[in-house]
Structure 1
Amino acid sequence: MNSLMRAVNFFFLKVILISIIIGICSAYALKAQQFSFHGSRTKGAVNFTLIRNLIIIPLYINNKGPYNFILDTGVGPLVITDTTIVKDLNLKDLRPIKITGLGKGIEIDAFLSNELSAKVGKASIDYIPTAILKTDILGLSNFMGIRIYGLLGYYFFNSFTVEINYSSKRVIFSLPGTKKKIKGDIVPLQIINNKPYINVELDTKELGIINAKVVVDNGASHAISLETLNEKPFPVPANSIPANLGIGLSGPISGNVGRVPKIRIGNFVLKDVISSYPIYDDVAAKTFILNRNGNLGADILSRFNVTFDYANEIMYLKQNQSFKRPFEHDMSGIEVYVEEDPNKRYFISRIEPNSPAQLAGIHEGDEIISINFSSAKTLNLNDITKTLRSGDGRGIFLSINRNGELLIKLIKLKKRI
Structure 2
Amino acid sequence: MLTKYKFDMRSMFRRLVICVGIILLFFTSALPQDFQFLDRQKRQSIHFKSIKNLIVIPVYINNKGPYDFLLDTGVGPMIITEPSIIDSLDFTTMRKIKVSGLGIETVEAFVSQNISARINRAKMDHVPTAILKEDFFNISGHLGTKIYGLIGYSFFDSFIVDIRYSESRIIFSRPDVDVKYKGNKIPITIENLKPYVYAEVEVPDSGKVNAKFLMDTGASHALSMEMFNGDKFPLPYTKIKANLGMSLSGQITGFMGRIKEFSIGHFDFKDVISGFPDYSTISQKIDLKNRNGNLGAELLRRFNIQFNYREGFMYVKPNANFKNPFEHDMIGMVVYLDHKEYKRFLIGEIDENSPAEKSGLCPDDEIIGINFRPVDLYSLNELADLFKSSASKSIILEIYRDNKTFFKVVHLERRI
Q: TM-score range by the shorter chain?
A: over 0.9
Equivalent residue number for residue 121 of structure 1: 120
Contact 1:245–1:255 at 8 Å: present in 2 too?
A: yes
- Taking the aligned partners of 2:203 and 2:356, their CA distance within structure 1 comes to 31
Which 10-residue stretch deviates more, 199-208 or 144-153? 199-208
Aligned to 1:232, the other structure's residue is in SS state: coil
Contact 1:60–1:66 at 8 Å: present in 2 too?
A: yes
- Taking the aligned partners of 1:243 and 1:316, their CA distance within structure 2 comes to 34
Which 10-residue stretch deviates more, 118-127 or 36-45? 36-45
Equivalent residue number for residue 216 of structure 1: 215
Q: Which amino acid aligns with 1:76?
A: G
Contact 1:214–1:293 at 8 Å: present in 2 too?
A: yes
1:321 aligned onto 2:323: no
Equivalent residue number for residue 340 of structure 1: 339
Deviations 1:301-355 (A, max 9, x none): 0111111111211111111111111111111112111112454321100211111
Structure with the largest fraction of helix:
1
Aligned residues: 412
Equivalent residue number for residue 404 of structure 1: 403
- Taking the aligned partners of 1:200 and 1:345, their CA distance within structure 2 comes to 41
Q: CA deviation at 1:407?
A: 1.1
Equivalences for residues 91-130 of structure 1 within 5 A: 91-92=89-90, 94-99=93-98, 107-130=106-129
Q: Which amino acid aligns with 1:90?
A: S
Equivalent residue number for residue 63 of structure 2: 63
Q: Which amino acid aligns with 1:127?
A: H
Equivalent residue number for residue 12 of structure 2: 10
Equivalent residue number for residue 285 of structure 1: 284
Equivalences for residues 45-194 of structure 1 within 5 A: 45-86=45-86, 89-92=87-90, 94-99=93-98, 107-194=106-193
Contact 1:306–1:318 at 8 Å: present in 2 too?
A: yes
Q: Which amino acid aligns with 1:26?
A: F
Query: CA RMSD, aligned part only?
Result: 2.0
> Unpaired runs of 5+ in structure 1?
none
- Taking the aligned partners of 1:7 and 1:229, their CA distance within structure 2 comes to 25
Aligned to 1:246, the other structure's residue is in SS state: strand
Contact 1:58–1:68 at 8 Å: present in 2 too?
A: yes
1:305 aligned onto 2:304: yes
- Taking the aligned partners of 1:153 and 1:101, their CA distance within structure 2 comes to 18
- Taking the aligned partners of 1:97 and 1:23, their CA distance within structure 2 comes to 13
Q: CA deviation at 1:180?
A: 2.3
Q: Which amino acid aligns with 1:48?
A: F
- Taking the aligned partners of 2:117 and 2:97, their CA distance within structure 1 comes to 25
Q: Which amino acid aligns with 2:6?
A: M
Q: Which amino acid aligns with 2:120?
A: G
Equivalent residue number for residue 24 of structure 2: 23
- Taking the aligned partners of 1:185 and 1:90, their CA distance within structure 2 comes to 48
Aligned to 1:60, the other structure's residue is in SS state: strand
Contact 2:22–2:100 at 8 Å: present in 1 too?
A: no
- Taking the aligned partners of 1:11 and 1:270, their CA distance within structure 2 comes to 21
Deviations 1:131-183 (A, max 9, x none): 00113211111121111111100000000000111111111100012122121
Q: CA deviation at 1:101?
A: 7.2
Equivalent residue number for residue 202 of structure 2: 203
Q: Which runs of 4+ in 1 moved over 6 A?
A: 100-103
Q: Which amino acid aligns with 2:41?
A: R
Aligned to 2:111, the other structure's residue is in SS state: strand
- Taking the aligned partners of 2:80 and 2:257, their CA distance within structure 1 comes to 33
Matched-pair identity in %? 43
Structure 2-normalised TM-score? 0.94
Contact 2:19–2:99 at 8 Å: present in 1 too?
A: no
Q: Which amino acid aligns with 2:142?
A: F
> Unpaired runs of 5+ in structure 2?
none
Contact 2:238–2:257 at 8 Å: present in 1 too?
A: yes
- Taking the aligned partners of 1:290 and 1:308, their CA distance within structure 2 comes to 25
